[in-house]
Amino acid sequence: MTIFQRIENIIVGLVQLIFGLSLALFPEDGYWVVLTVLGFAMTIKGINQLFYYFSMARYMVNGRLILVTGCILLDFGVFSGTLFDVPKIYIILYIIIIHAFAGIIEVLKALEEKRLGAKSWRFQLFRGIFDIALILISLIFIKKPNTVVIVYGIGVAYSALFKLISCFRKTTLVYVP
């Protein structure tokens, strides 16, 4: 990770931390804020992935995976922008599904890192298990919408803390023979 990437991740992590804590402390009308930020972030990330594919990744091995990821993120981001007039329960379920998908991906990445011999696989596994635990808590309290927003805010703050911690960790390279 370069110094510019570390600084960028620190800034993004601090913004995420403030956003997550504000959602957890002030959950009223948090759905619309979460939906707006989630849609905007996924749209920007999708456009970024597509730009990366067309500028460099199409020449890489498995570069099409970046194209597919960019298209899916862009699609979900635009779809999130159209959910403002649907009932709140659908928005809650949409957020839960996205968060559950992210947690499962974290666990699978941790298991892959363990298989490859990386040292930080426990860190990633704990992060994925925590995400899945947050989803289970959200499903238990789905009848109380403010509780789901609070749990989502805690999850965003928790993710930001992990992003900030990873900025200050030494990165290791895994070479596959």
pLDDT at position 135 is 84
Give residue-wise pLDDT tens across range 105-163.
889 988 988 888 877 788 888 888 888 888 888 888 777 777 777 877 888 888 888 88
| Average pLDDT over all residues of the chain | 83
Percent of the chain with pLDDT over 90: 14
Give which of 21, 53, 16 is closest to 37, Cα–Cα: 16
Give residue-wise pLDDT tens across range 29-42.
777 787 788 888 88
Distance of alpha carbon 18 from the chain centroid: 16
Cβ(56)–Cβ(66) below 8 Å:
no
Task: Give residue for tokens 């749209």.
Answer: 43
Give which of 14, 20, 1, 80 is closest to 45, Cα–Cα: 80
Q: What is the mean pLDDT of residues 19-28?
A: 85
pLDDT at position 74 is 92
The whole model's pTM is what?
A: 0.68
Give residue-wise pLDDT tens across range 42-63.
899 999 999 999 998 888 888 8
pLDDT at position 172 is 60
Per mean pLDDT, which range of 13-17, 91-95, 125-129, 159-163 is the poorest?
A: 91-95
Give which of 8, 34, 32 is closest to 167, Cα–Cα: 8
pLDDT at position 124 is 82
Q: Does the pLDDT value for residue 104 go beyond 70?
A: yes
Backbone angles phi, psi at 147, to 5 degrees: -65, -40
Higher pLDDT, 2 or 104: 104
| CA pair distance 91, 99, nearest whole angstrom | 12
